[in-house]
Amino acid sequence: MSGNTILRGGLATLILLLAGLGGCAIGQATGITTPRRDIAEQGALIRPHTTIEIPADAQAPVPAAILLHGCGGLRQVQPDYAAALLEASYGVITVDSNSARGIGRFAAMSQVCTALRLWGRERAADIEAALVLAREDPRIDETRLALIGWSHGGWTVLDALDYAGEGRVPPGLAGVTTPPLAGVRSAILLYPYCGFPVRADGRAFPSDIAIHAILAERDMVAPTGDCTRLFDRAEAAGHPVDHVTWPGITHAFDEPAAPPDPRMEYDADAAARARARIVDILDRDLRDQG
């Protein structure tokens, strides 16, 4: 086989790959590839991959937080925060969006983390389904709920807020009989991804949900500038976001089992500070609602 033949074959493969990637992006952006489910079907999708934990000494019903992992799936960071919230007498609902769709670690890193599949606008349907699960559990106060999202989970929360501000549920989701994000009083974002293709631009955020964010100064995965610009637009539109940028920390600073990536460094002190800050936020946003 000649060198020219090999070169032509390699170029053809590259063109097909780029076309496939472009098709994935177009499908996500237009909603063509977004699954159509009613809320019962969406609940059936996530229910086997959702855990609900209640403090042992809880006086039911308790306020609760819905945890949404980053693009790589559930990591140690979610149980760490869950333990802190349970100790502070909050219920915890942890949704494994990747496993619900049969997405393993390799597919997560190669497809979800590269925005080839499961954009935030699609995954936002998981939030509405998780809210149904919360309402079905008599141990949880369905009027005092919070969303906590890391990285891709933060993107998911941003898009869910955007849809709710427009008075509608995420695309492809049908049969929702309650107002979008009903019962949610607080949304907390940890180093969220805020750039393209995030749908939210801040102008349509709901006025009845307090929004908070912890950004990392050295974040090279989800640059803080994208988020601060989004939050500036939100404030200009009358929807201020309580956000802080902590110096010296990176993306996934609170993940003790982070992948071997020089862009991510675990910081135990900052992680403990973030957990404490989130408990304080929930104490303000949820406790006063009772």
Give yes or no: residues 26 and 167 share one domain.
Answer: no
Number of compact structural domains in the chain: 2
Both 120 and 137 in one domain: the answer is: yes
Phi first, then psi, for residue 68 (nearest 5°) are -125, 110
pLDDT of residue 57: 87
Half-sphere exposure of 115 (CA within 13 A, CB side): 19
Same domain membership, residue 80 and residue 23: no
> Domain limits at 11?
1-33
Nearest residue to 172 via CA among 68, 27, 21, 19: 27
pLDDT tens string, the chain, 290 residues long: the values are 554 554 454 454 334 333 344 444 555 554 567 899 999 999 999 999 999 999 998 888 999 999 999 999 999 999 999 999 999 999 999 999 999 999 999 999 999 999 999 999 999 999 999 999 999 999 999 999 999 999 999 999 999 999 999 999 999 999 999 999 999 999 999 999 999 999 999 999 999 999 999 999 999 999 999 999 999 999 999 999 999 999 999 999 999 998 889 999 999 999 999 999 999 999 999 985 44
Residue 252 sits in the same domain as residue 211 = yes
Determine the 3-state secondary structure of 97 from DSSP. helix
241 and 284 both lie in a single domain: yes
The CATH number given to whatever domain includes residue 268 is: 3.40.50.1820
Taking the CA atoms of residue 280, residue 120, residue 112 and residue 264 in that order, the dihedral angle to the nearest 10 degrees is: -30
**Among residues 187, 120, 181, which one has the least CA distance to residue 155?**
120
Q: How many helices (H) and strands (E) does the chain have?
A: 9, 9
Give the strand pairing for 184-190 and 210-216.
Answer: parallel
Residues 82 and 105 in one domain: yes
Q: What is the pLDDT of residue 2?
A: 53
What is the model's pLDDT at position 34?
Answer: 87
Same domain? 130 vs 255: yes
User: Is 84 in the same domain as 25?
Assistant: no
Same domain, 26 and 130: no
**98 and 61, same structural domain?**
yes
